[in-house]
Amino acid sequence: MPTAVISPGKVLSGQVQPPPSKSMGHRILIASALAGGPLPEGLGDSQDIRATRACLSALGEGGMDLPVLDCGESGSTLRFFIPIALALRGGGVFLGRGRLMERPQGVYRELFLPRGIRWEQSGDRLTLQGRLAAGKFSLPGGVSSQFVTGLLFALPLVEGESELVLTSPLESRGYVDMTLAVLSGFGVEAENQDYQRFRVPGGQRYAPRAMEAEGDWSRDSVQGDRVVLEYMERLRGPGEVSLDLSGCPDLAPPLAAMAAVREGITRFTGAARLRMKESDRLSSIAAALTALGVRAEEGPDILTVQGQRALTGGTVDSCSDHRIAMMAAVLATRCQDPVTLTQPQCVEKSYPDFWMHYRMLGGEVYVI
C-alpha cells in the first residue's frame, strides 16, 4: 500500500487549472445521454466521473436483462441512477466499493417498496426491479439532496405529472439548483416551489445541447460552495467563529485546515452528514488534525478546532478519503516536520492531477 511523505513548510505559489466541477459533470453527462446526444468530453477524469460514464454505457446497452451498473465509490452516481434505471430499464443491479453501500439509501427504499419495486441488497450489490411511475413522492430533505436530484432526472421520462414533497428542510440547496439549471438547459421543466415542493410534468424529452462544466468552485455560480468566500473572510480574523456546514458539507476539510492555523476557536455546526461520506469525515478530520498537533474535538454534528501557531507534522491516515488527503497536503505547508500520509492515491476519486499540481506549485511529495 503506497504512502506519501510530504515535506513540511513549503510555500506554494503559482497558478494551476482546477478540475471541472465533478457535481456539474455528473449532471451534464446524464442529461446529454438522456437527450440521445454524444457524451461530452472535458468533464475531468476522476474516478467518480468515470463511474458515471460507465453506468451510462451499461444503461444504454440493449437486452432483456437488468443492466449492471458499477458505481465505484460515487454516491452521486448511485443515487442519480437508481430512479433513472427504474424509469428506463425497469431496474438494475448496482455495484459499489468502499463505504458506498453503507451510505444511507433508505429514502429510496421507503419510496419504492410500497410502489411494488423489488429491493434486495447483499453486501456491495443492490438489485432493484420494477418500473418507476408518476405520483406523489414524500421524502426528507435532510439526508441528501442527491435523492431529489435522482428523481428530478427520472420523473420527466415517465407519463403523468409527479410531485416531490419534502417533509423536512432541504439541505445543500445549491446542488438542487445545479440540477434545475441543467434540466432547464436541456429543455426539461421542473417547477421549484420554495424548496418544499417540486412539480414535474411527465412525458418530457431532453433536448440535445452543448454545456460546459464550470470550475469547482466558480464565481457567479449556483454551486453551494460559493459560500466559501464568506466563510474564509470570517476566518481571517482572531476570536471565536461558528460556521454552518449544512448547505456545504464538502467544504469541511479545507475550512478545517484554515481553522487549524488561525488564532481562535472555530466551531463547525450542522455537520452530521459528514459521517456518511467516503469516511466518517467528522472523525477523520478530527483525527488528522490531532495527528498534526491541533486540538480538535468532534460531537454528533459538530467539530471544534483550536487554532495553533505552528503544527508539528506526523502521520495522517487518509481513511481512503480524497478530501482528507488533500487537507493533509495543505496543512503540511504549515508543519515543522514531514507529514506521512496513507493511501495518497485516493485523490483520484475527484482530483487525479492533485499531486502533480501540488508539485508544480512548489510542494514536495515522495511516494513510498
Catalytic residues: 250
- As a whole number of angstroms, the distance between CA 148 and CA 9 comes to 43
Backbone angles phi, psi at 162, to 5 degrees: -120, 160
**Cell numbers that stand for 38 in this block:** 454524444
> Kind and range of the H or E element at 229?
helix 228-235
Q: Which among 306, 294, 360, 278 is positioned nearest to 332, based on CA atoms?
A: 294
**Cell numbers that stand for 207 in this block:** 433536448
- As a whole number of angstroms, the distance between CA 20 and CA 156 comes to 27
Check if the beta carbon of residue 332 is closer than 8 Å to that of residue 362.
no
Check if the beta carbon of residue 168 is closer than 8 Å to that of residue 140.
yes
- As a whole number of angstroms, the distance between CA 268 and CA 305 comes to 8
**Cell numbers that stand for 71 in this block:** 458505481
